[in-house]
Amino acid sequence: MSTIPRVSSAIPGEPAHFGSVLAHQPDIAASFFALYGRFWGSDVLSARIKEVARMRNARVTECGFCRNVRFDKAVAQGLGEAAVDDITDGYETSDRLTDAEKAALKFTDALIHDPELLNGDARAALQRHLTPAQIAELGLGVTLFLALAKALITLGLEPETMDRTVLPTPAVPEAAE
């Protein structure tokens, strides 16, 4: 896995990072950030559950950038580092994660790793804890988390080192509202 950018920055004076590289395709960038802001801005599914799924994707795909970023909305909803530390193999036994979060994690594993993991019991648990609209948002989120992690990694945009960083939760850019 390369930590040397495989594409240059499209923004003069800025190093190659996800935003500056995606700027090679302004229409893709604008539509993505509008979508991502809308997704995080929706409260159909809590930011905390979205962040739990994002953290799981970060670990499974080995996305170091994703793994070290925290979105402040989820932190404000009580997702602390002790709970994040439990989002690893064996999360089923965590006493810091809720049953709804464990069901979302099983769905996340099924989507990004093996659909067979969403067996009868796991499927029933997901449908017991989340509404169809919440599952739709979760599915959108995991799809985007997975795709972006893979794009970021294969474009060589993984940082060599990175501290844990709390960022403002993505919002819809004003121009896209």
Partner 1 sequence: MTGAGRSAVQAALAADPVLAAHYADFRAHAEAALDPALVALIRQAVAAVHGMGAAPDEAGLDAATRSALAYARRMTFEHTAITDAEAAAVAAHLGEPGFVAFSVLAALADAECRAALVGLAELAGE
Residue 175, interface with partner 1 (CB under 8 A)? Answer: no
Identify residues 139-168 at the interface with partner 1 (CB under 8 A): 139-140, 142-144, 146-148, 150-151, 153-156
Residue 47 or residue 83: which is nearer to partner 1 going by CB?
Answer: 47
Contacts from 144-147 at CB under 8 Å and sequence distance 24+?
144/35, 144/36, 144/39, 145/53, 145/54, 145/57, 145/58, 145/66, 146/57, 146/61, 146/111, 146/112
Residue 33 or residue 91: which is nearer to partner 1 going by CB?
Answer: 33
Tokens found for residue 139: 């599915």
Query: What is the 8-class DSSP label of residue 170?
Result: P
CB of 12 to partner 1, least distance (A): 14
Determine the Cα–Cα distance for residues 66 and 80; give it in Å rounded to an integer: 16
User: Which DSSP helix (H) or strand (E) runs through 71?
Assistant: strand 69-71
Count the residues of the shown chain that bind partner 1, applying the rule CB under 8 A: 52
User: Which DSSP helix (H) or strand (E) runs through 1?
Assistant: none
Identify residues 104-123 at the interface with partner 1 (CB under 8 A): 107, 110-112, 115, 118, 123
Tokens found for residue 168: 């403002």
CB of 41 to partner 1, least distance (A): 10
Stretch that binds partner 1, among 75-83, 93-101, 137-145, 159-167 (CB under 8 A): 137-145
Residue 83 or residue 100: which is nearer to partner 1 going by CB?
Answer: 100
User: Which DSSP helix (H) or strand (E) runs through 88?
Assistant: none
Q: 173 by DSSP, 3-state: which?
A: coil
- Give me the residues that bind partner 1 (CB under 8 A), please: 1-2, 4, 6-8, 10, 21-22, 24-25, 27-28, 30-32, 34-35, 38-39, 42, 44, 61-62, 107, 110-112, 115, 118, 123, 126-127, 132-133, 135-137, 139-140, 142-144, 146-148, 150-151, 153-156
